Amino acid sequence: MNIAFIGFGKVAFYLSKLIDGENINIITSAENRSDNTVELINKSDVEVYDTFKEAVEISDITVSLNSPSSALKVAHKYKDYCSGIYLDLNNISPETSIKISQLYDNFVDGAIIGKIDSLNPILYLAGEKAGDLLFLNDFLKVNIISNNIGDASKLKLLRSTYTKSLSALLIECTNLARKYCLDEEFFDILSLTEGDDFKEKSLSRINNTLNASKRKKDELEEIISYFDDDLIMVKAAHEKLSRL
């Protein structure tokens, strides 16, 4: 079986390591790709074609591994060459999932959760053809959510409403505790109920958020506009990140 990877960044690199079956051939192309990408391709065992078109054409499954902003363009570009399943793993919005699904007969909406670089992620899938990808369970954990295109993206957004707002809350509370010179005690007291790793985890969340506050603020903006619900806490998190 051939699996074409359109794009070969970090996620693709680790996925190609995970999906390592005897009868599985992962192929990609270095066409118009950056030096970093070419380096990742060289470090892996995948087969390299001159163009993505060729790779897609001879594949049973095509996986789009690009960026949220280029996902729709990529989907348009290869729709006439893909006869098998087209799986999008670009962190796209539920709306974009639906748009892409209209271009392909066998579209699957996917999301990778967990740390890919520790080679222990979970692949969440949605769509009527998701069941055809269950064989991937031999290589990584695969969960099928539903037949509804967009549900994998939606689930990822729902997860973000929680994790990003939690980070904003942690920033607020630890700053307040620090102001009163009680931050060490704040972590100690909470580790009683939140677990021994509360401090370590919280500081890592805070740092990750502070280091990418603009991007996380933009992601919260997308979430707020997508769900169109009365999200008091999520809106406050957006406000908190805007003021950092």
Question: Residues in the site for its own copies, rule: CB under 8 A?
Answer: 113-114, 122, 124, 143, 145, 151, 154-155, 158-159, 161-163, 165-166, 168-170, 172-173, 176-177, 179-180, 182, 185-186, 188-190, 192-193, 195, 227, 229, 231-237, 239-240, 243
Closer to its own copies at the Cβ: 45 or 185? 185
Gap between the Cα atoms of 220 and 234, Å rounded: 7
In degrees and rounded to multiples of 5, residue 160 shows phi and psi of -65, -35
> Which of 36, 149, 27 lies closest to 87 in space, CA to CA?
149
Give whole-number Cα distances, 154 to 2, 5, 89, 94, in Å: 29, 23, 13, 6
Closer to its own copies at the Cβ: 48 or 236? 236
Q: Provide the minimum distance between the beta carbon of 99 and its own copies in the complex, in angstroms, as a whole number.
A: 19
Gap between the Cα atoms of 15 and 45, Å rounded: 11
Q: Provide the minimum distance between the beta carbon of 71 and its own copies in the complex, in angstroms, as a whole number.
A: 21
> Which of 223, 217, 211 lies closest to 241 in space, CA to CA?
217
Q: Provide the minimum distance between the beta carbon of 110 and its own copies in the complex, in angstroms, as a whole number.
A: 13
In degrees and rounded to multiples of 5, residue 60 shows phi and psi of -80, -30
Closer to its own copies at the Cβ: 103 or 169? 169
Closer to its own copies at the Cβ: 58 or 224? 224
Q: Provide the minimum distance between the beta carbon of 166 and its own copies in the complex, in angstroms, as a whole number.
A: 7
